[in-house]
Amino acid sequence: MNVTEAVLSRSSIRSFLNNPVSDDLLKVLLEKSSRAASGGNLQPWKIFVINNASMKDFLDFQEDWTEPEVPAYDIYPQKLKEPYRTSRFELGEQMYELLGIGREDKDARIAQVMKNFKFFGAPCAFFCFVDRQMGPPQWSDLGMFLQTFMLLAKEAGLDTCAQEAWSMKHDSVAKFVKADDTDILFCGMAIGYRDDTALVNSLQSKRRPLKEWAKFL
């Protein structure tokens, strides 16, 4: 698989098979991903992998968690302006329409959102933390690291879903992984093998035309 094939075939998978993923494969992918661009070579990512027994332990821990959670950051800006608001709205409606969930069916929509916190059934995952000292340039490094991992995962026959939703559960996740108090949870990453029978995995987000966001001078 070349880079173009990996880019075009990568998508956010929201239903996984229970097929196991080996720690050895994850180690190889993470080590390769560390070659992602990093300003000043800070390599600001801090990764905590849960797999096999630790995945079950974590999900059980989440079920038992009753303390308040303080979101690590705002995932989207408030009063999101155009064209960004429409892009976000259309993706959600596209997914719910595919799943046959009407706009009035709030319970079904919430149930779909809550699947985030089961990693959509993925057998393994990791959490990406960053030191609170870091600013926007280092957060962009996290994005490059994560994208590199997702493309390498495709090459290895795996699928992924980057999940900023986990930032809403910073407190419980940080407690479980024993993160430093100076670290902030950026996202989770579900990892595994896609369920090709699941309708939701046929979802392909639309991209705005090149002419709307690129200008050749």
C-alpha 213: how far from chain center: 24
pLDDT score for 75: 94
Residue 87 lies in a domain: no
At 98 the pLDDT is 87
Dihedral angle sign, alpha carbons of residues 207, 211, 212, 217: positive
In a domain, 127, yes or no: yes
pLDDT of the residue at 210: 96
Question: Could you tell me if residue 193 is inside a domain?
Answer: yes
CA distance 146 to 33: 8
Domain span holding position 171: 3-74+117-204
In a domain, 156, yes or no: yes
Residue 57: the pLDDT is: 97
Reading the block at residue 210, the tokens are 């090149």
For residue 86, being part of any structural domain is answered with no
Look at residue 51 in the predicted model and tell me its pLDDT. Answer: 97
As for how many domains the chain has, the answer is 1
Query: 189 — phi, psi (to 5°)?
Result: -140, 110
Question: How many CB atoms lie under 10 A from the CB of residue 161?
Answer: 24
- Residue 216, in any domain of the structure: no
Half-sphere exposure of residue 19: CA atoms within 13 angstroms, side-chain side = 11
| Cβ atoms of residues 16 and 190 within 8 Å | yes
Q: Is 111 among the domain residues?
A: no
pLDDT for the residue 70: 93
Buried b / exposed e along 179-214 (16+ C-beta atoms within 10 A): beeebbbbbbbbbbbbbeebebbebeeeeeeeeeee
Question: Rounded to the nearest 5 degrees, what angle is found at the Cα of 117, between the Cα atoms of 115 and 121?
Answer: 60
Residue 28: closest CA among 49, 53, 57, 1: 49
Kindly report the CATH number assigned to the domain that includes residue 43: 3.40.109.10
CA distances from 217 to 40, 73, 212, 214 (A): 30, 36, 14, 10
Q: Please count the helices (runs of H) and the strands (runs of E) in the chain.
A: 8, 4
- What was the pLDDT predicted at 138? 97
pLDDT of the chain, 217 residues: tens digit per residue? 899 999 999 999 999 999 999 999 999 999 999 999 999 999 999 999 999 999 999 999 999 999 999 999 999 999 999 999 999 999 999 999 988 999 889 999 999 999 999 999 999 999 999 999 999 999 999 999 999 999 999 999 999 999 999 999 999 999 999 999 999 999 999 999 999 999 999 999 999 999 999 999 9
For residue 30, being part of any structural domain is answered with yes
